[in-house]
Each structure stands twice: as structure tokens, then as C-alpha cells.
Structure 1
Amino acid sequence: ARSAPAPERPAPADRPAPPEGERPGGWAQQVHQLARQQPVASAPPQAAKAAESPAPWKPPKDDPFLRAAQDQGRPAPLGRRLAARIVDSAVLGAVVGAVAVPLWGRAADHIDAKIEQAKQSGETVTVYLLDGTTGSYLGIVLGVLLVAGLVYEALPHAKWGRTLGKKLCGVRVLDIESHDTPSFAAALRRWLTYGVLGVLAVGVLGVLWCLFDRPWRQCWHDKAARTFVASNSR
């Protein structure tokens, strides 16, 4: 005996039956599913991964901070350096001259007195220009030069990287590695090297060395302190 088919349940009153083309498993629903799955299936894994990863960051073409760093770390033109050195030398010369000129007069009078005394003795006497008196005068002048250079050169270089002449000419002294103001030890070593070479009459050669040095245009005192003179646009 054949059993009778079960009667179909009527659809709820609040859910109308879907149309023929949109029933589950109908051709319209299958087409929509295939359309959604086709781009994902056809895209290669590398392209999908690239689409998901964020775009790399690119710096702006005109970076003001980079431009300021480049301007700060660029060797200064030789003309501006020469002008700054002339101003600084004039200031130091005025300070040292205020002490050296009176002492020079005293030393000249002392030497003249020695020569006159030798003439009056009637004997052949060797008169030395450098003795205890004139040597003490020379020591005072050199001490004033070193102290004035310490106050005017070393301290401002260690604190601001520039002196009055360098500020007027738009240049400053920087450490060759950090591109920052040098330490007090480096600034003092720079000034002592410059002062000692100047006293020994070879300072001109040490200063002219920047004409041939590359790439930092260093003089001998810059090489001793590991510094260089840079342009300063601020």
C-alpha cells in the first residue's frame, strides 16, 4: 500500500513566499553568488595582499626641517669666514693693544737705559733685548691674549657656536659629527691651537689650509677640535 504524501505546510501569513526566480537555489540567486565570488577567485594572492596593505608613507617634496638641517650643516663660504675673522681679530687686537701699548713703551725705555748704561761704561757690552723685565712684559701680553681669547672665542663658541664677527657674517662653528655647538673642551682646544700657531708665526699657513681641505674646509685649529665653520641662515 502506498502512503499518501504529506500535506504541505502553509506559509506564514506575515512572510510571503518569494517569487519563483528568487527562491533558495533558484537561478537568480546562483548568478548573484557567482558574481560575488568571481573577483575574489580570479585575483592573485599577491594582488589581494597588496590591496589590503596600507600605502607606504612618502615624505613631502619640500621638507622645511630637512632644508634647515642641510643649511645648518653646509660649509660657509670663504669670503664670509674671512670677514668674520677680520672682525674678531680687530676686537681681540683692541683688547690686547690696550695692555700691550703701555708695556711696549716701558720696554723701550728699559732697553734704551741699558744701551745708555753700556755706552757710559766704555766697555764692549752685549745688550740683550729680552731680559727679566721685557720677558715679564711679554708674558703679560701673552696672558692677556690667551684670557681674552678664552672669554671672546672659547666661551661663545661653546655656548652659541659663534662670536660677534661670526654672528655679523652669518656663520657659526659646529661639531663635525653632531652638527651641534662644540663642547667647551673642543672650543678651548680650537682657540689654543689658533693662538699658539699664531704666536709661532705659522698661523697663516694653518688658516690658509681651508683653501685646499675637502669637504669641510677645515683649518688646522678646526682639525684639532673636530669642528668646521658652517653657514647660519638663522
Structure 2
Amino acid sequence: MSEYQYNPYQQAPNPYAYAAPPPPYYPPPGYYPMPGPPPYALAEQGMRLAARILDGVFVFVVTGLTGLVLALATLLGAGGGDTHGTEGWVFAAGGLLGFLLYEPLMNWHYGATLGKRICGLRVARLRDGENLSFGAALGRWAFYLVLAFIVPLGGLINALSCLWDKPFQQCFHDKVANSVVVKRDLAHVSPASGEFGHSG
């Protein structure tokens, strides 16, 4: 029998049948999509520098005000009596407290310091774009201070390290805290899920 000859027992094709769906795609073993923001959401280095300069001014103001308020409270609490110079120590301690807590508290609660807010930037958690925990924000600032005041040229190298870091332009203190600095209005964008974190 010729292969083109009509076979009465052969089932006619169903014109309404759908083609079999393609097999699902599975990434190769060991492959995982990289978390983090897309390149266009990353903060520009010039804006990061401007924010750091502004924060230097704000830290000076916060440090002075914190120390002054605590020193005045000490004097008033003494009722005009002799404080034996206690207000000077209180001023110094209050200033140090303001210096140490200004940046961690701001990054934890608001996602940015005053300088970064003015420059339209935000410090975000790398994996999901949310604000850093207080512990992470404190560790990030502590590592920054160690590099700046203890390691020779550490502060300068740390500040410049975002120029050559790939793919997220992180400074060393960002890597320690698993953080990334992004543009505030684009902080919620992610190429993988479409949502990197809140932008408010």
C-alpha cells in the first residue's frame, strides 16, 4: 500500500486541537538571578560626594546642638550652683552621641540622611530595597569611621572605591552592611521583579 493511499482506519486530525506547550525553562544549575537595583537606579558618584559634604555640615550642627542642650540641662538642674565643670563634659559627651547616632538613626528610620534626601538619594538594603535595620546602619557608619580615622588613607580609598566597584558601585562600608545607594525616585525599580523597594 502506498503511503499516500487512503486508510479508512486512520484517525482524522482534530482541527481544534492545540499544539503541545513548550517545555518549561529551567536555569542552568548554580544560576540565580542577581538581586539589587538596575544600573540606571544607582546613585551618581558626584551626588554622593555632595550629600557627604552636606552631611558634614549637618553633623557639625547636630553635634553642637546636642551637646549644648545637654549642657544647659545640667546647668539648670544644678539650680545655679557650682557644677564643677560638669557641663563641659556633658557638652562633649552629648556632641559625641550626636556624631555617632545621626547617620545610623537617619538611615534606619528614613532611609537617608538629610544630605542624601536633599540630593535625592537613599541608602537601601541590597537584596530587597528596604531600609537598613538599625544594627546594619550602625555597623555601616562604624566601619566608615574606622576607615576614616584609624586606617591611613582608609577614608579616601573607601570614598573612591565606588568608582571602580561593579555592579552596584558600593563603597567598602556599603559592602559591610550589604547596602546600596540609589536615586530616591528610582529606588523601587527592579529588572527581575519590577519592585526593588519602596521609594518613599
- Please report the TM-score for the alignment, with normalisation by the length of structure 1: 0.50
Map 1:63-82 → 2, pairs under 5 A = 74-82=41-49
Residue 94 and residue 218 in structure 1: after superposition, are their counterparts in 2 closer, same or farther (change >3 A)?
same
Unmatched 5+ stretches in structure 1: 1-39, 54-68, 100-135
8 Å Cα contact 1:72-1:230 kept in structure 2: no
Matched, 1:149 2:120: no
Q: What is the aligned-residue identity percentage? A: 40
Question: C-alpha deviations, 1:68-119, integer Å up to 9, x for none?
Answer: x9679832111111111111111112344676xxxxxxxxxxxxxxxxxxxx
1:62 aligns with none
Q: Is 1:207 paired with 2:178?
A: no
Between structure 1 and structure 2, the one with the greater Rg is 1
Which residues in structure 2 correspond to 1:55-204 (within 5 Å)? 74-96=41-63, 144-150=95-101, 152-200=102-150, 201=152, 202-204=154-156
User: What is the alpha-carbon distance in structure 1 between the residues aligned to residue 124 and residue 39 of structure 2?
Assistant: 9
Q: Which has the higher contact order (CA 8 A, sep 6+)?
A: 2
**Any stretches of 5+ residues in structure 2 without a counterpart?**
1-10, 22-35, 68-87, 186-198
**Secondary structure of the residue that 1:48 maps to in structure 2?**
coil
> 1:216 is matched with which residue?
168
Looking at structure 2, the residues matched to 193 and 142 of structure 1 have their Cα atoms a distance apart, in angstroms, of: 21
In the alignment of these two chains, the number of paired residues is 140
- The answer to whether the 8 Å contact 2:39/2:167 transfers is no
The 2-side partners of 1:224 and 1:145 are apart by 23
For residue 188 of structure 2, what is the aligned residue in structure 1? none
| Paired residues of 1:174 and 1:228 also in contact (CA < 8 A) | yes
Counterpart amino acid of 1:86? I
Q: 1:93 to 1:213 in 2, by over 3 A?
A: same
Residues 72 and 232, structure 1, Cα contact 8 Å, conserved in 2: no
Relative distance call for 1:93 and 1:185 in structure 2 (3 A) is same
Equivalent residue letter for 1:224: V
Q: 2:14 aligns with which of 43, 61, 69?
A: 43
Q: Which runs of 4+ in 1 moved over 4 A?
A: 69-73, 140-143
- TM-score norm. by structure 2 comes to 0.58
- Asked if structure 2 preserves the Cα contact closer than 8 Å seen for 1:158 and 1:181, the reply is yes
